[in-house]
Amino acid sequence: MIFIVVKFLVKPEHADEWPAIVSDYTQATRAEPGNLWFDWSRSVENPNEYVLVEAFRDDGAEPHVQSEHFQQAINGLPQYLQETPRIRNVQLEGDDWDRMGEMTIE
């Protein structure tokens, strides 16, 4: 799978409304056949920072970046941001989350 984490530093005046701003983009991406997950979290240390954790099947990322909703996002979302998003993108084995062996709950 292709595992991606992106940090978005949102302008303070848009931080509370960010989930609504990205709602259509989020729903469209989650509906893509190659998408495994697309989950937003808000930083507990910086209320203006959102972290997106997303994963695609190996062949799912290319159709995503070619999609109309992705093109709309890269053109429309920068106006709400303080800086260019920071990203990590890696290829991993499997297609789901692993269990944390050090904290097994039975």
Q: What is the DSSP-derived secondary structure letter of residue 10?
A: B
- Tell me what pLDDT residue 62 has: 82
- Tell me what pLDDT residue 58 has: 85
CB contact at 8 A, 33 and 59: no
35-39: average pLDDT? 97
Banded model confidence at residue 65, pLDDT cuts 50, 70, 90:
confident
Banded model confidence at residue 70, pLDDT cuts 50, 70, 90:
very high
Q: Whole-angstrom Cα distance, residue 55 to residue 30?
A: 10
Banded model confidence at residue 59, pLDDT cuts 50, 70, 90:
confident
Q: Is the pLDDT of residue 60 over 80?
A: no
Q: Which CATH number fits domain 2-94: 3.100.10.20, 3.20.20.70, 3.30.470.20, 3.30.70.100?
A: 3.30.70.100
- Tell me what pLDDT residue 41 has: 98
